[in-house]
Amino acid sequence: MFEPVKLKDIAKALNVSVSTVSRSLSGGHEISEKTRNIVLRYAQKLNYRQNPIALSLKERRSRSIGVVISEVANSYFSQAISGIESIAYDRGYHIFITQTHESADREIANVQHLSSRSVDGLLISLASETQEISHLKSLHDKGLPIVFFDRVSPEIETHKVIANNYKGAFEATVHLIKSGFRRIAHITGAHHLSTSKDRLRGYLAALDLYSIPCKPEYIIYCENGGMIQAETDAAIAQLALMPDRPDALFIGGDKLSTGCLSALKKQGLQVPQDIAIAGFTNSDVAELFKPSLTAVSQPAYQIGQKAAEMLIQLIESKKPVTQFETEMFSTELIVRKSTDKV
């Protein structure tokens, strides 16, 4: 098998002690220039690499961070991951990515697994199903740094990074209203998620501003957040059958937006003739849909970067951090054909 060079090998070959080698390599001051150079040169020649596992054991940290998301196959998350990765890489951290597929059980298992793998910190966007976060709380109480992004929880006081979901939803809804639609429904993710709540508030605020009464039956929660297409189909079917069928739809989720487009197609409803839609999505192909999709896009890459930065800062902070921030990024409304009034 693969046998990397270790300090002992170098020490033996050079007839010095292991500690001399270690000190030379780590740039210790108390080493003679001459010895250091010899060691350095030899180590270089043998392509010596520190064994990170031994180092972790020694330092009692792993230089790795755990990432918990619902799915990589989601444009928002895959972009966020790239952002996280870019920062982590720069700072010498590795990332463990785990997927919950929106299941609370898998989230618990993943978090458990990661913490037992001694990650130095956790970056998490909660699963749709998760309502109770004692699995995170206990870890956090024990001192494990955690930074929330996207779907956050008020129950743990720590850094959080989110998009301005309220404003994004508000703008999208206003755009629908200004385009001439009045019967605007809202399909969104699990009711307890922070993102769902904020987006709902934005939607309601826009209706309110234009004095459009809000119909409770126009608000539909998809508890699986688009993970299960049948649920999305059912939501659309429900809207389609209403006597006072909506003429527009504001969708509060990445997976849901494409899911609704697909469901509407199955229902035989034309977009935007029968019903206009605008939705949160970071898809890079929203332009190509039939019709092209008016989208609320989040700066997912930057959100990932910021979250990683904050986590690493937390990890590397000498004294316990007590001041926590919630960083908020602006969304962008990209108007396309799915909200054209015809």
Partner DNA sequence: GTGAAAGCGCTAACAC
Partner DNA sequence: GTGTTAGCGCTTTCAC
Binding site for DNA (CB under 7 A): 6-8, 15-20, 22-23, 25-26, 30-32, 34-36, 49-51, 54-55, 57-58, 60
Which lies closer to a second copy via its Cβ, residue 149 or residue 203? 149
Burial of 258 (0-12, 13-18, 19+ CB in 10 A): buried
**Residue (35 or 51) nearer to a second copy, CB:** 51
Sheet holding 219-221, edge to edge: 219-221, 184-188, 248-251, 276-280, 294-297, 332-334
Interaction partner, residue 288 (a second copy, DNA, none; CB < 5-8 Å by kind): a second copy
What's the closest the beta carbon of residue 141 comes to DNA, in angstroms? 19
Identify which of residues 177 and 291 has a Cβ nearer to a second copy in the complex.
291
- Interaction partner, residue 144 (DNA, a second copy, none; CB < 5-8 Å by kind): a second copy
Query: How crowded is residue 227: how many other Cβ atoms within 10 Å of its Cβ?
Result: 23
Distance CA 97, CA 21 (A): 35
Nearest to 277 by CA among 163, 181, 204: 181
- 220 in Cβ contact with 235 (< 8 Å): yes
- The two tokens of residue 114 are 């990661």
- Rank residues 58 and 342 by Cβ distance to DNA and give the closer one: 58
Nearest distance in Å: CB 106, DNA: 25
Report the C-alpha gap between 236 and 159 in whole angstroms. 36
CB of 41 to DNA, least distance (A): 14
Shortest gap between Cβ of 109 and a second copy (angstroms)?
8
Between residues 38 and 219, which has the closer beta carbon with respect to DNA?
Answer: 38
Distances (CA, A) of 138 to 25, 262, 263: 39, 41, 41
141/208 with CB nearer a second copy: 141
Q: For a second copy, give the closer residue by CB, 214 or 237.
A: 237
- Selection from a second copy, DNA, none that 267 binds (CB < 5 to 8 A by kind) is none
In the complex, the residues that contact a second copy under the rule CB under 8 A are 1-4, 49-54, 56-57, 62, 71-73, 75, 78-79, 81-82, 85, 89, 94-99, 113, 116-118, 139, 142-144, 258, 261-262, 265, 283-285, 287-292
Q: How far are the Cα atoms of 169, 182, 235, 243, 246 from residue 218, in angstroms, in the given order?
A: 15, 12, 10, 12, 8
Interacting partner of 12 out of DNA, a second copy, none (Cβ under 5 to 8 A depending on kind): none
Q: Do residues 47 and 2 lie in contact, with contact meaning Cβ atoms separated by under 8 Å?
A: no
Site of tokens 């002690």: 17
Q: From the CB of 263, what's the least distance to a second copy, in Å?
A: 11
Query: CB of residue 217 vs a second copy: minimum separation in angstroms?
Result: 27
Residue 8's binding partner, choosing from a second copy, DNA, none, with beta-carbon cut-off 5 to 8 A by kind? DNA
Distance of closest approach, residue 63 Cβ to DNA, in angstroms:
12
Closest CA to 158 of 334, 321, 332: 321
User: How many CB atoms are located within 10 Å of the residue 212 CB?
Assistant: 16
Which of a second copy, DNA, none does residue 291 bind (CB under 5 to 8 Å by kind)? a second copy
Closer Cβ to DNA, 23 or 186, answer by number: 23
- Which entry of DNA, a second copy, none binds 81, CB below 5 to 8 A by partner kind? a second copy
Contacts of 257 (CB under 8 A, 6+ apart): 226, 251, 277, 279, 280, 281, 283, 286, 293, 295
Amino acid at 266: K
As measured in angstroms, the least distance from the Cβ of 88 to DNA is 21
Residue 153 interacts with, from DNA, a second copy, none (CB under 5-8 Å by kind): none
Of 117, 186, 107, the residue nearest 151 (C-alpha): 107
